[in-house]
Structure 1
């Protein structure tokens, strides 16, 4: 462990200035709040130049593209660590534009890592995805499971992890987190939980052409943010990638049942079969995150759904 990383890890964490990319997004926004609550000096940035109405802070406009502007920002703001949460954030986005997905996610990671190297930033928490494993079937999945995704989004995450591995040889230390399906307040991209709740609150039916028996692993965004805080302060040791999930798989029809039990007005119909925007991933082993990072999920799916219903009810 380098002296710079030891300083970040040992500071715990007052005064450590952390750049957060994609700070107006689901994970980025919650990460800024968690970092500030933990005593970090968070520097939020986002490609959006205007603050969304539901954001709790202002973020500096910053595109994750181009080495020179990124290096200039890192040096001007005396950044000591980075949480990289920007980019195309799921397999359902731009799925017919593979070049856009790869150039945004892989190109952005490459430029950011080179800028970090030049600016002497020594710790990056890279938000990858369990989607990098691809279709594993029912076999349990730990961090030694090969990364075998075949779609553009999953491949972009694999490529970004390989960039992180390469830059470890050039003084930029990384902790990679592989979250499962992230849900929670402020999620704007497709999410079955949000769709089911929103439809119920509007007294509209939900009809899905897939889902019965199809298992999905969820993790609440607050738990992801806490894993990120833990990743910033760990000395890392010999393991650099960690699964982040709530530790259970739920068939989507069981998810529908949890929502119907809370919202009797919900009318949810779904056919059998997998989600076309997802893969069948075996049960994620989260023991390494517990052992090395000291992290465990706190918010189970039932509690998370309760919170989303409460939050979304205020919106309607």
Structure 2
């Protein structure tokens, strides 16, 4: 199959690109490299260095049979400070991509959405029928694209899947997280272990959880990649499916710190900060629907193993 991966030079997109190539697909990566890395694009994939807004000529030339869409701005705090950038890129760029797909005769898409579309949930684990009440511009922009996909499916016969998840972690195909501005807990902890920062800040330790720290969902990037490949052929024309992805239980911030200490052998000093506004005690997604429909099940559920995968790739990159 000819597949275009928008955002394929980023962390998740590059791993999915590698998986597609391993499966014998013909892959073109579309990425403006504003946050991605050209050297993360796996060998065997073509790279078109353009933005979503300028994607039409690329799709007209490639004529993909399907699109996997990862390209987005994704820093929650920045989305509140610079909402215009998020509406322009995440919504305006996605609209341009869908129109380019229509013009190229491509109607199949898997969209990398987010569980941030749910906001602060009433019940945990979060199911797909939970109310969508995003608490930041990032989540709102992703939800807007989900709505866009529903309307394109109805009006234009698109076959679409949105995958919603929280934290992606680990590494696969020698590819791991590499962000100019790092906000994710596991890579931040590993940066302390590698000497790139002095300590790790934990925001709040008085939550109503077993150890007082927040519980969050973590999905291994290889399991996430498997879900995207399973979702690709699943919907019929005119159908937009939404699936949540999660490990089923979640891990606390303290558990992540302990796992990082075990893997690296470093004490990883911790500074306790104030709670951050809007941080729920527990965020875990239910994966029951995708398990039932597509047979997806995470294979990497051991936290220490997830952290070790991330550490091994980070260390290999440092040389």
Note whether the superposition's TM-score is higher than 0.5. yes
Question: Helix, strand or coil for the counterpart of 1:111?
Answer: helix
1:42 aligns with 2:30: no
Query: Could you say which residue in structure 1 is the equivalent of 2:209?
Result: none
Query: Could you say which residue in structure 2 is the equivalent of 1:218?
Result: 218
Encode CA deviations 1:48-104: one digit per residue, 9 max, x unaligned. Answer: 299534443452112101xxx533321211211100100102414444101111221
Structure 1 position 266, deviation (Å): 2.3
Query: Could you say which residue in structure 2 is the equivalent of 1:13?
Result: none
The answer for unaligned runs of 5 or more in structure 2 is 171-175, 206-212
Question: Helix, strand or coil for the counterpart of 1:307?
Answer: helix
Query: Could you say which residue in structure 1 is the equivalent of 2:177?
Result: 186
Structure 1 position 183, deviation (Å): 2.1
1:171 aligns with 2:157: yes
User: Do 2:193 and 2:264's aligned partners in 1 also have CA atoms closer than 8 Å?
Assistant: yes
Structure 1 position 204, deviation (Å): 5.5
Range 122-131 or range 306-315, more displaced? 306-315
1:195 aligns with 2:188: yes
CA distance in 2, matches of 1:76, 1:222: 30
Q: Structure 2 length as normaliser, TM-score?
A: 0.85
Range 115-124 or range 161-170, more displaced? 115-124
Encode CA deviations 1:235-292: one digit per residue, 9 max, x unaligned. Answer: 4697700111222211101111111223332233142664558555543110111111
Query: Could you say which residue in structure 2 is the equivalent of 1:100?
Result: 85
Total equivalences in the alignment: 298
Q: Structure 1 length as normaliser, TM-score?
A: 0.86
CA distance in 2, matches of 1:73, 1:254: 45
Question: Helix, strand or coil for the counterpart of 1:59?
Answer: strand
CA distance in 2, matches of 1:59, 1:136: 39
Range 69-78 or range 211-220, more displaced? 69-78
The answer for unaligned runs of 5 or more in structure 1 is 1-15
CA distance in 1, matches of 2:277, 2:271: 13
RMSD: 2.4
Question: Helix, strand or coil for the counterpart of 1:144?
Answer: coil
Residues 292 and 32 of structure 1: is their aligned pair in 2 closer, same or farther, counting only changes over 3 Å?
A: same
Query: Could you say which residue in structure 2 is the equivalent of 1:114?
Result: 99
